[in-house]
Homo-oligomer: A and B are copies of this chain.
Amino acid sequence: MSATWGRDFRVSIFGESHGSHIGIVIDGLPCGFKIDFEKVLKEMSRRAPGKSSISTSRKEDDIPEVISGVFNGYTTGAALAAIIKNKDYRSKDYSQLKDIMRPGHADYTSKIKYRGYNDYRGSGTFSGRITAALVFAGAIAKQILEEKDIYIASHIFSVKDIEDEKFSDATLTREKFRELNNAEISLLNSEKEDEIRRLVLETKKEGDSLGGIVECAAIGVRAGVGDPFFDSVESKISSIAFSVPAVKGIEFGSGFEITKMKGSNANDNFYFDEDGSIKTITNHNGGINGGISNGMPIVFRAAIKPTPSISMKQKTINIESRENTELELKGRHDPIIVPRVTVVLESVMAIALLDLID
């Protein structure tokens, strides 16, 4: 396993879905920062399970216990460690999965890699649950960035074929970001919420699952952030974003769409704004040129695959008996994780930017 990420702002993550705790060590925090723990808890509740009719019924308070690095309410400069107790797990739900490999999940690959010693209960360290620790670190990173006037938000860009709007000048604002951070379901066009909810419930009834796309952005990043050749803004964000389970694609700015344009359209023309600041007319490059921020909003979209744990009957293998077999999953599963992943992607973006900015 490779549990540590970052050069100057480092996180070391640990935990397994049905172990006693998950947690994280955060290293490289500035000293003297007053963490707003209420805000941290709010961020964590955005990811926590059992909150809505469209997520798993597993219920976890996800209350992190800070066990080092904070004294009298301020960061001490020493490593900050936090642990989160696992409470509502039902390991018997998973006993059949010891030998029968869920398609699309890490059961098979982790069994091979760890020669059967991996904690397979609740997907072990491959559970989306581990991302609660990332959200904890990200929530702190977001607060530190806000002191530098950098704000991060995201929204559900699409669920299957249902599309929200794209971020635009009108929505890349602090006001809208605050709104998105507070919403139960983050959408720019809130009218889509019912449609999404209906599709999710219907799919859940079928025993199937859904994926979607999350769009995430940071505003207020000054020009000059990013360390090419290898620590480009895109490299750093994608490196940690692809650690988030279920992410299968990432694109910055216009991303794959930019390949359909000609250079004369794709190039974002610079101009001096009335206040003397330098801006670009369009933002097809997602705020990044040559791996370095150009002062425009940094925007990326991540593709989230449908939850692999579905209750419909699936063809698969029994790795012990070495036979083809079928699997009907019991247990509580999210029919879609897209709404819960939004805050996870904001968190990894915050961690990546803070590592580059420091």
Is B108 in contact with A294, judged by CB distance below 8 angstroms? yes
A220 at the interface (CB under 8 A from B): no
Is B23 in contact with A67, judged by CB distance below 8 angstroms? yes
> Which of the residues B22, B67, B235, B292 comes within 8 Å of A243, measured between beta carbons?
B235
For A, the interface residue count at a CB cutoff of 8 angstroms equals 144
Q: Mark A263-294, 1 if CB is under 8 A from B, else 0.
A: 11011111110001010110011101111111
Is A239 in contact with B230, judged by CB distance below 8 angstroms? yes
A171 at the interface (CB under 8 A from B): no
Is A278 in contact with B248, judged by CB distance below 8 angstroms? no
A103 and B264 alpha carbons, distance in the complex (Å): 9
Q: Which of A203-261 contact B (CB under 8 A)?
A: 203, 206, 208-213, 223-224, 226-232, 234-236, 238-240, 242-243, 245, 247-256, 258-261
Q: Which of A317-346 contact B (CB under 8 A)?
A: 317, 319, 322-324
Q: Which of A21-42 contact B (CB under 8 A)?
A: 21-23, 25, 27-28, 31-32
A124 and B72 alpha carbons, distance in the complex (Å): 13
A86 and B23 alpha carbons, distance in the complex (Å): 18
Is A104 in contact with B256, judged by CB distance below 8 angstroms? no
A167 at the interface (CB under 8 A from B): no
Assuming the A-B contacts A31-B118, A81-B23, are A290 and B245 also in contact, with contact meaning beta carbons closer than 8 angstroms in the complex?
yes
Is A259 in contact with B12, judged by CB distance below 8 angstroms? no
Is A119 in contact with B76, judged by CB distance below 8 angstroms? yes
Is B314 in contact with A264, judged by CB distance below 8 angstroms? yes
Is B27 in contact with A2, judged by CB distance below 8 angstroms? yes
A107 and B250 alpha carbons, distance in the complex (Å): 25
Is A292 in contact with B109, judged by CB distance below 8 angstroms? yes
A215 and B131 alpha carbons, distance in the complex (Å): 30
> Which of the residues B229, B281, B308 comes within 8 Å of A1, measured between beta carbons?
B229
A125 at the interface (CB under 8 A from B): yes
Q: What are 24 A-B contacts defined by CB distance under 8 Å? A: A2-B230, A3-B230, A4-B27, A14-B25, A14-B80, A15-B78, A21-B81, A71-B118, A102-B267, A103-B268, A108-B223, A108-B278, A113-B292, A126-B228, A160-B260, A160-B262, A211-B259, A234-B242, A248-B255, A251-B251, A256-B256, A263-B308, A267-B306, A281-B315
**A126-B290, A263-B306, A263-B310 known; 9 other A-B pairs, CB under 8 Å?**
A1-B79, A3-B27, A13-B230, A19-B67, A20-B68, A31-B114, A71-B118, A77-B113, A235-B238
